[in-house]
Amino acid sequence: QITLKESGPTLVKPTQTLTLTCTFSGFSLTSSGVGVAWIRQPPGKALEWLALIYWNDDKRYSPSLKSRLTITKDTSKNQVVLTMTNMDPVDTATYYCAHRTITAAGHYFDYWGQGTLVTVSS
């Protein structure tokens, strides 16, 4: 059974750096084809893909946020960490991590964490 859970601060101040941790179980991030992504959703708005890390440590970032994002993994702890610098109130959102699967039917997110709401305010 695959599960993911996000953790991190619920409140950050503008200009601060946000660090979120995704702790997962039920799969290994060393298995070929596996990836873990971060996706966010501002209140009342749409989903936005942020970053993805692959089993081979290859990384992908949303072009619009690339300069502010870093994604890393710790396979020994079954964790993926996302850092986002220079936080702004517009970054207030629920942040999800998700298991990314590759099959003949494409790349999709088949398991999601419950999400963590991060508010950016002074």
Partner 1 sequence: QSVLTQPPSVSGAPGQTVTISCTGSGSNIGAGYDVHWYQQLPGTAPKLLIYGNSNRPSGVPDRFSGSKSGTSASLAITGLQAEDEADYYCQSYDSSLRGSVFGGGTKLTVL
- Examine residue 115 and tell whether it contacts partner 1 (CB under 8 A): yes
Bridge partners for 99 per DSSP = 36, 111
- Examine residue 46 and tell whether it contacts partner 1 (CB under 8 A): yes
Measured from the CB atom, the residue of 12 and 39 that comes closer to partner 1 is: 39
Q: Does residue 59 contact residue 53 with C-beta atoms inside 8 Å?
A: yes
Kindly list the distances between the CA atom of residue 43 and the CA atoms of 99, 108, 113, in Å, as whole numbers in the listed order. 22, 23, 17
- Examine residue 53 and tell whether it contacts partner 1 (CB under 8 A): no
Stretch that binds partner 1, among 17-25, 61-69, 74-82, 85-93 (CB under 8 A): 61-69
Q: Does residue 100 contact residue 77 with C-beta atoms inside 8 Å?
A: no
Measured from the CB atom, the residue of 44 and 122 that comes closer to partner 1 is: 44
- Examine residue 112 and tell whether it contacts partner 1 (CB under 8 A): yes
Listing DSSP states for 46-92 in one string gives: --EEEEEEETTS-EEE-TTTGGGEEEEEETTTTEEEEEE-S--GGG-
Binding mask 67-96 vs partner 1 (x if CB under 8 A, - otherwise)?
A: -----------------------------x
- Examine residue 5 and tell whether it contacts partner 1 (CB under 8 A): no
Query: DSSP label at 26?
Result: S
Residues at the site binding partner 1, with contacts judged by CB under 8 A: 37, 39, 46-49, 52, 60-63, 96, 103-115
